[in-house]
Amino acid sequence: MKFIFIFSLFIFQTYYSSGQGNGAYTLQQCIEIALDNNITMKQAKQTVEGNAVSVEQAKYARYPSLNIGASQSLNFGRSVNPYDNTVVANQQVNSNNASLSSSVNLFNGFQNQLTIQQRQLNLKASREDIGTAKNNIVLGVVESFANVLSNKAQLESTKAQFQNTQAQVERTEKLVSAGRLPITNLYDLKSQSATDETNIVLAENALELSKLSLAQWMQVDPSTIVEITEPNLIIEPQDEKSPLEVYTMAEPGQPQIQASKTRVLAAEKGISVAKSGFYPNLSFQAGLFTNYSSIAKKVVQGAPLQSPVVVPIPDLVVRDGSGNQVPFTVNQLITSGRSTVENLGFGDQFDNNLRKGFTFNLNIPLFNGFQNKFAVENAKISRLNAVLQLEQQKNQLRQTIETAVANEKAARKRLAAVEKQLVALEEGYRSSEQRFNLGVLNTVEFLMAKNNYFRAQNDKARFKYDFFIRRALLDFYLGKELKFN
């Protein structure tokens, strides 16, 4: 992802000014604070962390599993002795089982590898989403910051207008007292002074609202924004470009476009993952198993005799050639004592019952209710949605750039026009003021010239920062840096 800070084109002060403690902020500081505090940014970062975990999970799914199992059983009455599978009655049987098993998937249609690739693409897209979130935040901060500057300039202009009117009131009072001007002139100026005071209140309210908007973007207490530092704006002349030219230059660097393209690739991997369900599955399993039974017995041979004993075996008969039974005696040599039956110990049983084995499992899908087919169809629909989302992002970017080009052109012309108008109105106002003081111009005409002049001053302040926003946005899409001193 081409990770561009949307307004890395802003190069302001690279350090925090000492005035931040009393509420003075530079634009760079406002941007940094907003990025640190914004919840959307934090959520985007958490999404990246979650997708990174998902990638690691898919990678470790390729490794064999290893499990240890154990169980404890207690049976009463008629049951089966797990040691030798004999049936016992009216006995309590306590048994234990233990196992160690491992399994690994040898082949599943490359599903594991495809899943890893798909999740890596999702991770890449979520990282690009962070760039989109940053762009949106910085755009909002810059616009709010410029609105504060604009309203601040208009407030200063309104106060200057009020002070000028007050000076005119004081001068007119003297002239009226001297009998050189009619008292109606003084009433008109006092009315204008009251209007100017009202305009100051309105300008102060507009400034406070713009500060509130800036504080909300920064997610700080509005009372902390007492003052902001106005940078020296340096706007270099540039050739006009068509919306198509700007779009061609802007698209490769826009993170929302890159994120949408990445999600299309991820959706294509999803189709391959779904198709892997049609392939055979081969897995391998191996294990160790043993058990214990509380009623397991073993026969213990008697101890060897020092003197062997000859014991006859009675009641043995054979038949002769005529079929008659003929008794005979066989002597048995006994060399050891009588054998006994003992309980078989826990350790002995686990050793004796230990069994080992391994298994290869091959599963060939023949029919499963067309589930694999439906999975592929759903994956294709997801890809189509991703493609449509990409086209929507491109259309939005194209429309935004078309609007930005038109707005920049209009703002530039509007600013140039008001600057010319201001020069003419200033000359007219100065002339009207001199004629009014000499008593050769009536109050209505003087106030009209005065209001037109100060209205043009307010328009210039507003148009100046509006042009700043429009040019900054257009320069952003052009990949240029907007420099400030």
The yes-or-no verdict on residue 262 having pLDDT over 80 is yes
Question: In terms of pLDDT, which residue wins out, 230 or 302?
Answer: 230
- The CATH number of the domain holding residue 432 is 1.20.1600.10
* Residue 249 and residue 351 share a domain: no
What are 435's two structure tokens?
Answer: 């004629």
> With contact defined as beta carbons under 8 Å apart, do 290 and 282 qualify?
no
> With contact defined as beta carbons under 8 Å apart, do 30 and 141 qualify?
yes
- 456-457-460-464 Cα dihedral, nearest 10 degrees: -170
* Residue 234 and residue 352 share a domain: no
Averaged pLDDT, 306-334: 71
pTM, to two decimals: 0.76
* Residue 212 and residue 184 share a domain: yes
What pLDDT is recorded for position 334? 67
Q: 41-45, 194-198, 200-204, 230-234: which range is least confident on average? A: 230-234
In 3-state terms the chain splits into helix, strand, coil percentages (rounded to 5) of: 60, 20, 20
* Residue 239 and residue 300 share a domain: no
* Domain assignment of residue 411, yes or no: yes
* Domain assignment of residue 432, yes or no: yes
The yes-or-no verdict on residue 161 having pLDDT over 90 is no
Domain of 378 in residue numbering reads as 14-63+110-278+372-484
* Residue 224 and residue 90 share a domain: no
The secondary structure of 437-460, three-state, reads HCCCCCHHHHHHHHHHHHHHHHHH
> Tens digits of per-residue pLDDT, 275-288?
999 999 999 999 99
Question: Which amino acid appears at position 83 of this protein?
Answer: Y
Q: Which of 298, 332, 364 is the last residue of a domain?
A: 364
* Residue 257 and residue 133 share a domain: yes
* Residue 177 and residue 57 share a domain: yes
* Domain assignment of residue 319, yes or no: no
* Domain assignment of residue 39, yes or no: yes
What pLDDT is recorded for position 336? 66
What pLDDT is recorded for position 254? 92
* Residue 422 and residue 460 share a domain: yes
What are 340's two structure tokens?
Answer: 């006994």
Q: Which of 364, 398, 431 is the last residue of a domain?
A: 364
* Domain assignment of residue 453, yes or no: yes
* Domain assignment of residue 179, yes or no: yes
Instruction: Compute the distance between CA of residue 75 and CA of residue 44 in angstroms, rounded to an integer.
Output: 56
Q: What is the total count of domains within the chain?
A: 2
Confidence of residue 402 (pLDDT cuts 50, 70, 90): very high
Instruction: Compute the distance between CA of residue 182 and CA of residue 176 in angstroms, rounded to an integer.
Output: 6
* Residue 152 and residue 88 share a domain: no
Average pLDDT across the chain, whole number: 83
* Residue 43 and residue 122 share a domain: yes
* Residue 21 and residue 158 share a domain: yes
Q: Which of 318, 334, 364 is the last residue of a domain?
A: 364
What pLDDT is recorded for position 309? 65
* Residue 136 and residue 173 share a domain: yes
Strand pairing of 482-484 and 10-11? parallel
Averaged pLDDT, 447-453: 82
Confidence of residue 241 (pLDDT cuts 50, 70, 90): confident
